[in-house]
Structure 1
């Protein structure tokens, strides 16, 4: 069974406890509102009514995260080892494919805690595993060295000497 289906059914079962007819919540303690009270066969002992001051009812409900429904999903595989699969679930999506040579590439995205969409793309092939993403740190740009005046003049003198030596070597005939 699909794991998301199991999670969804578990969440529905957990949240439906307040809808049971014997639940002494907002409507459960009032006879006549449910058909099983009218049948004469109560499923629970009838509450005794006392004249007391009204007490506000409180409920302790566990917080829950709403699940985004899966809008689409797909999957395919063949005898050569190629496959592709993916899904789109509203707040997240993923796709991946593998070719017959074992190269895998894919991407996924999700909404982070700050409400920003994060996207990652990855490739696994003969060059290794490579990933790029919107939430990965980037290295700073390499700094171009700035030479001091002394170093700049020494480099120029060295370049001039090198050019002079290369011209002299080209002017002399090669002896064998």
Structure 2
């Protein structure tokens, strides 16, 4: 597809320059850039070139249209509470599904202000809501130490509770 586009644009450029070789076309109004002028052979007599006057700057190429992003969406559900949906909107996308047990899984991504694609994935089930993503902050040494201290305190409290005498 890309090779066909390049070849067709090259054919259009060659055909248009061949019809009017004195027209500046792709090379602009700079005779030193055009390969015919570098050979030292003038294409038309000098007197005719002086009689023509100034040549406007123009391009003799066909305009190239930008590729449009692909937009799509889908959705489905049934009588058992299952569903799935999603979309693709060019710079962002999302999908989510729920199974018959109520577990939800999904992900989404988007282009942030720095031009990076950020992706998040999430799960909601019997173990709670969990998320992972490319833009979540990393644990600093202070946060890691505080989490370790909290975990140790939790283990001590659990051990103290299980060692306490049980009353009937």
TM (normalized to structure 1)?
0.40
Q: Which has the higher contact order (CA 8 A, sep 6+)?
A: 2
Q: From the two aligned structures, give the one with the greater helix fraction.
A: 2
**Larger Cα-atom Rg:** 1
TM (normalized to structure 2)?
0.42
